[in-house]
Amino acid sequence: MAAPYAKLPGWVDYGLIPLVNLTVAFLVAGLVVLLVGENPLRAAQLLVQGAFGSGDGIGYTLFYATNFIFAGLCVAVAFHCGLFNIGGEGQAYVGGLGVAIVCLAFDSIFPWWINLPLATIMAAIAGALWALIPAWLQATRGSHIVITTIMFNFIAASFMVYLLVGPLKPVSSMAPETRTFAEGAQLPRLDWMLEMFGLTIRSSPLNITFLLALLVSFGVWLLIWRTRLGYEIRTMGFSPTAAKYAGVNQTRIIIVAMLVSGGLAGMMALNPVMGDQTRLQMNFVAGAGFVGIAVALMGRSHPVGIIPAAILFGMLYQGGAELSFEMPTISRDMIVIIQGLVILFAGALEHMFRPTIARLFHMAGGGALRPAAEPGE
Amino acid sequence: MLGFGNFEAWISAIDGTRMAPNAIELTGINKSFGPVRANKDINLAVHKGTIHGIIGENGAGKSTLMSILYGFYQADSGQIEVDGKPVTINTPNDAIAMGIGMVHQHFMLVENFTVLENVMLGAEGAQLISGSIAKARSELKHLEEEYALEVDTEAVIEELPVGLQQRVEILKALYRGAEILILDEPTGVLTPAEADHLFRILKQLKDQGKTIVLITHKLREIMAVTDNVSVMRQGEMVATRKTSETSVEELAELMVGRHVLLRVEKGEAKPGDVKLAVENLTVKDSRGVVMVDNVSFEVRAGEIVGIAGVAGNGQSQMIEAIAGIRRAETGRVLLDGEPIGVTGDADPALLRKRGMAHVPEDRHHMGLVLQFEENENSILGYHADVEYLNGPMLDIEGIRSDARDKIEKYDIRPPNCRLKTANFSGGNQQKIVLAREMEQDPAVLIVGQPTRGVDVGAIEFIHKRIIEMRDAGKAVLLVSVELDEIRSLADRILVMFAGRVVGERGPDATEGELGLLMAGVEGEPTKEAAE
């Protein structure tokens, strides 16, 4: 049973190969920058400086990363069950409704530390419910989850527009958004945390949801690798026939995994809605649900990979914004191109360089490697 | 590295065919997959116009070697000569151009194409195929006549029995001008009669000057049909013998590297109460075809009931229905006298709790999750048992130490419960499943194909364990397409054909008798059990 491709050591698999993919993505992006007549090195410098060069930059980078962590976890949990949930965008959007309901109802009654858990629960419920119908259709009717979840993104968008121009809009207002939440529904900023590292903050939207995201990441790890439910999800994802053999109720596990996935997407809404804008606005998700797919792919559906991948995309968002400010020829669309290249090379073409690297690696170090790789004991 | 036996064989070979160059000559072939050396300094000479057998356990490197010869892989070092000329084979197309054809274990046929279309596929010759179809048809007719390989050229593949599908594979190779034919485990899916027919075809091909390389793990086939045989073990070519000068025992010993018992030692069965009763079971497959047709039988405590039959005659669907994985149409299955709801709500998890263990036929897709660590697979199906849980959490430490115990008891190698299951050999994977199911101390054990793709050394161990289960008073239902296995383990043999039990025999039934039943040649009363 010799595997045709031998296993690579972890640091190659999880370190070197993503690094090579990223490098190639940035090289190609550099060519694009060159084409519009700018200096790619300077552009790169501006991008990194914009993302990490100041306290505010770091704050924004981590703020965006918070969204991407939730979105990435959402995609990852579904991946583990063998499902491709690309409805994170819509689930997060509807999750915002859950947040808004709690905030609008209780913002002048409870302090933030009571409203946060309530809003978290409601956001998760709203997101999970939005995933329920596609999940149910997949589990009992075999309707493909990719089709149904993407359609539900459109439905979510229209539904939210209806709510925001109608029932949720204050009577006197002309903007399609809810009223601004009172202080009880405004999450504390994490300026103190950045200042601990000696950074100066003027204004950064980074808020306590970032810490919640880290906590939830740990929770997802526990769920997937340490609970009976996670075991059943993974069994189902790797081998539905083995799941059947093991007596796993397939309908139930598909629905449960999608509920968890949708719930995670829903929780993403906490960050922009309660942490930053303190009101529910249109299109607050702004594509984060789709970035989550790339984040999960890059992070190999593992929280330990998802967090750095999310920070990388946070850097592209924040640094990209700074870059287009400093270099007007590089428009916002150029930044989207660069992000697209990263997704392309790190996600879709993830296996492009693998065979070559594996071959080089074994040619160079195959002999020396043997004792380490032979399972001893 | 070069075995002494090899040298002998060369000498004897030189006596026989002094003049003709070898059809294939491999010298010093090395191939590594990362740290695994799949082939180590392999030398092999296949004489023109002979049938050359290659045997070895799973993972001995047979398939790797043949894949190198057929251009799927490139050797790291070494030389290949075809008809005395050194060649490089980088792709299967190169191999085909040199007159090497391969019949794969799993047929490479397009199911809904006709025989003719399959034979032509990849050798159409032009953008518009209407012209080449006529040409191909006449050429195919010619081939069929020349080698007595009749197949209806217009028949659709999925409607042909496997024996004929295999013939199409052979025709495909011949159509491409193969002079050297490699067959990889060709008899796995055939009845004994079909296998005999295949061997007649192979001999005829040989008489017409073709060279045949036969890869198999069945020693009897080697003895029956080959002229020479090479034995591989752990990536090395350990011996080459003239078939007429060797024996099954010697070959088995060479394969495993130690003496092996080919026949299992077992005492009399002491059947007790009926543990498992199957009554008028009828099962359809997903297309609605009746696969199991009104089958009834009983399994008692302390006996092994063997289900013999050619693969695809309903055995798989039957055991899946009994194990609660597949819904049956009609009928009942009683476990300890209680119905299990095979037509409705049978739940594999619940059946396990009620004392039914199931070693599935397909360990790769059903019995194991190959991407899991070994210890994770050691609880598959039992993961909801309280002993493996702390509330909703898995008791990771408990699971791992439990897995380590089983690894020791079943001699699973390498003894590492954190290793990914895909990295274990076939035999060890099977031991992982057996350990999991047997250590639950079930009352009823259902075993499907316990030694498929398992090496000889592990077969001995697995057979012993199954007999031990019987002697411990368990009811064992054994399904296997290996007739030898059924005959040596079962206390009663039921033969399935086309979804029905067509006969019951005692363990002393002859192979010919069972073979006839397996081929559906009936006309005998179904009950004449030899007590």
Asked if B394 lies within 8 A of A370 by C-beta distance, the reply is no
Q: Is the pLDDT of residue B508 over 70?
A: yes
Domain match, B336 and B452 both? yes
Tens digits of residue pLDDT in B305-317: 999 988 778 999 9
Residue B397, token pair as written in the block: 């430490």
Q: Which of A88-102, A299-313, B232-246 has the highest mean pLDDT?
A: A88-102
Contact B423 A3 (CB under 8 A): yes
Task: For B392-430, write each residue's pLDDT tens digit.
Answer: 899 999 999 999 999 999 989 889 999 999 888 878 899
Interface of B with A in 16-55 (CB under 8 A): 32-36, 38
Q: Is the pLDDT assigned to residue B455 strictly greater than 80?
A: no
Looking at the fold, whether B456 and B500 belong to one and the same domain comes out as yes
pLDDT at A4 over 50: no
Percent of chain B having pLDDT more than 90? 45
CATH of the domain at B294: 3.40.50.300
Please tell me whether residues B225 and B329 are part of one structural domain.
no
Q: What is the pLDDT of residues A321-345, one digit of tens each?
A: 888 888 888 888 888 888 888 878 8
- What tens digit of pLDDT does each residue of B378-394 get? 999 999 988 899 888 99
Cβ pair A167, A179 in contact under 8 A: no
**Could you read off the pLDDT of B174-214 as tens digits, one per residue?**
898 899 999 988 887 777 778 888 899 999 999 989 999 99
Q: What is the pLDDT of residues B20-29, one digit of tens each?
A: 688 999 999 9
A122: alpha, beta or left? (left if phi > 0; alpha if psi -120 to 50): alpha
| B422–chain A Cβ distance below 8 A for any pair | yes
- Average model confidence (pLDDT) for chain A? 88
pLDDT > 90 in chain A, percent: 63
Tokens (6 digits) for A59: 């704050």
Q: Do A238 and B371 touch (CB under 8 A)?
A: yes
B282 plus B428 within the same structural domain: yes
Residues of A within 8 A of B38 (CB-CB) are: 2
**In-domain check, residue B503:** yes
Q: Do A375 and B414 touch (CB under 8 A)?
A: yes
DSSP-derived secondary structure letter, A172: T
- Neighboring chain A residues of B370 at a CB cutoff of 8 Å: 238-239
How many contacts does A have with B, using Cβ atoms within 8 A? 114
What is the domain extent for residue B289?
274-518
Check whether residue B392 and residue B312 sit in a common domain: yes
Tell me the average pLDDT across A47-53: 91
Domain A26-363, CATH number (from 2.60.40, 1.10.3470, 3.30.70, 1.10.530)? 1.10.3470
Q: Nearest residue of A to residue B60 by CA position?
A: A1
Q: Percent of chain B beyond pLDDT 70?
A: 93
My answer on whether B384 and B409 are in the same domain is yes
Yes or no, beta carbons of B35 and A6 under 8 Å apart: yes
pLDDT confidence tier of residue A2, bands split at 50, 70 and 90: very low
For A367, other C-beta atoms within 10 Å of its C-beta total 11
pLDDT tens digits, one per residue of B4-21: 445 555 544 444 444 568
pLDDT (average), residues B331-358: 92
B232 and B369 fall within a common domain: no
Q: Looking at the structure, do residues B224 and B342 belong to the same domain, yes or no? A: no
Q: Tell me, yes or no, whether B239 and B318 share the same domain.
A: no
The ipTM assigned to this model is 0.82
| Cα–Cα distance, A265 to B490 (Å, whole number) | 56
**Tokens linked to A299:** 């992070």
pLDDT over 60 at A366, yes or no: no
Considering the domain architecture, whether residues B233 and B371 belong to the same structural domain is answered as no
Taking only the tens place, the pLDDT of each residue in B256-272 is: 777 766 667 788 888 99
Residues B481, B404 share a domain: yes
Domain boundaries, chain A: 26-363
Q: How many residues does chain B have?
A: 531
DSSP state of A180: P
Strand partners, B225: none
- pLDDT at position B106: 77
Are B300 and B414 contained in the same domain?
Answer: yes
- pLDDT confidence of residue A264: 98
Residue A253: predicted pLDDT: 97
Higher pLDDT, A367 or A131: A131
Q: What is the pTM of this model?
A: 0.79
User: Which of these three, B230, B260, B290, is where a domain ends?
Assistant: B260
Q: How far is B95 from chain A (nearest CA, A)?
A: 20
Residues of B in contact with A234 (CB under 8 A): 369, 372
Asked whether the beta carbons of residue B325 and residue A245 sit closer than 8 angstroms, the reply is yes
- Whether residue B347 lies inside any domain: the answer is yes
Assess if residue B526 is contained within a domain: no
Query: Count of domains in chain B?
Result: 2
CB distance A245–B358 less than 8 Å?
Answer: yes
Is residue B94, in this structure, part of any structural domain at all? yes
* Contact check, Cβ <8 Å, B423/A7: yes
Segment among B189-193, B319-323, B354-358, B460-464 with least mean pLDDT: B189-193
Task: Report in angstroms the alpha-carbon separations of A117 from A109, A252, A266.
Answer: 14, 27, 13
Residues of chain A with Cβ-Cβ distance to B379 below 8 Å are 231
List pLDDT tens digits, range B37-95: 889 999 999 999 999 999 887 667 888 898 899 988 888 899 999 998 999 998 888 99
What SS3 class is residue B240? strand
Q: Which of A238, A245, A373 sits opposite B381 (nearest CB)?
A: A245
Tell me, what amino acid is at A46?
A: L
> So what's the pLDDT on residue B228?
94
